[in-house]
Structure 1
Amino acid sequence: MSITSRKRSHVELAIGADVSFRSKTNGLERYAFEYNALPEIDLADVDTSALFVGRTLRLPLLITGMTGGYPEAEKINTELAEACAALGVAMGVGSMRAALEDPSLASSFRCVRPFADSVPIVANIGAVQAARWLRMGQLDTMVGRALEMTGAAALAVHLNPLQELAQPEGEPEFRGVLQTIEHLVRTSPVAIIVKEVGAGLSRRVVDRLSSVGVEHVDVA
C-alpha cells in the first residue's frame, strides 16, 4: 500500500470502524476534578492562557497531528487550523513524509501556514525516517522544508515502533533513533516534541529522552 493510500485509510477507519481499545483504557477515568464550592474568585478573573513553545495559547490545548499526505486531507487540515485559530489552541499536522518525498502532496500541509501567525503549528516527521535521512546527510534539509511548508513553531518526531512492527509496509529500523533526536535537539531552530501514538511513553523512555535534551513529549 502506498503512503498516500495508507493515510487515506487511517481516516476512513477512524470514521467507519471501532478502533477503540477493547480491554484497556487511557486511564483518565481514574481522575476527576475536585469540585470547589468556595472558589473565592470571579469568573472574569480566571485566566486559561498557557505558554507553549514560546507562544501564548488562550486554552492549554493541542489538536495533535491527525492527517496529511493525500488530496482530501487538505480540507481536514484547513478546517482544523481554522478551528484552532478561532479558539486560540495549538495544532499539529500528521506525518509529513509523503509531502517531503513527493512535493505534489504539499498542499495538504501548506494549507495550515496562513494560520501560523495566529496559533503555533507543529510539523511532524517520523523518527525512523529521520534516522535514515541523518545517515544520508539529508535530515537538516528535510526539517527545513517541513518547517517552511507549515510555518511551524515546533517539530514533532513520532516514534511509533509498535505501528512499524504491526503494519505490513512498516519499517522496523530503530537503530540510531535516539542519536537522531539528540541531533535535532541541538540543531533545530524550533522546539522538538517527541510523540508516541497509541502505546504511550514509559518513564524509562522519557528519562532517556530527557538525557539528550528533550523537553516536550506528546503521548497522544
Structure 2
Amino acid sequence: MQDNATAPSNLVDYVTSCSLPTPWAQFTLHAFVEHSTGKEHLAMTLGDLSTGDAPLARIHSECLTGDVMFSQRCDCGAQLESALRRIADEGRGILLYLRQEGRGIGLVNKIRAYRLQEAGADTVEANLQLGFHADARNYELVLPMLEQFGIEAVRLMTNNPRKIDALGKLGIKVAERVPLLVNRNVYNENYLNTKQAKLGHMMTSATEAVLDGEA
C-alpha cells in the first residue's frame, strides 16, 4: 500500500480557475501546484465532465518549442491544437497540460538532446547519452487532477501506450483510444519513426489498425 504522504491524490493542490477563450471554444482553465517541485500544472475543461459517458481527454506534456515556437521537429504543437479542436467540436472534454518538458528532462537538456540529434543520434539515443531515461515522464499527477472533476473514465487522445498503461494502474479506465496523428513532415519523420520503433507508439489510424489486424 502506498504511504499516504506520497499517494497520487496528495501530489498536487488545486488552486483556482478562470475562463479561457480560444479560437475554438471558451474553455475553463484550472491551476494546480505540485507539492514536491512547485511546478504549476494546468487543466482545460469544456462542458459537464462529472456525468454521462467518458469524456474526450488528452494528457499533454509541455513542449515550449512545439507548443509556442511552432517547431516542426516534433508533432507536439499540432497535437495540442488538434486535441483542443476535437474537444471543442464535441462540446465536452478535458486536456491536462503537464510541465514535463522534453519527456521529463527539462528545456535546456532537450536543447542539448537536439544538438546530439543534429550530430546523428535519434531522440532515444540522445536522452540516453545525456544520462536520462528514454522517457522520464511520470503520470501519477493525472489521478488527482481527474479526481478534481469527478472523472473515472476517459476516451484518451494518444498514440502512446505508456499513457494508457499508466492510467490503468491509477484506476482510470480508458474506454477508448483516439489516435492523434498530425503534422508528419520532412523535419519530424525520423522523430516519429523513432517513437514507433523504440517507444512503441501506435502511429496508424484506427481504420488502418483494423485493416492490419491490430485491433
Q: Which has the higher contact order (CA 8 A, sep 6+)?
A: 2
TM-score > 0.5 by shorter chain: no
TM-score of the two chains, using structure 1 as the length reference: 0.33
Q: Which one has a larger percent strand, Structure 1 or Structure 2? A: 2
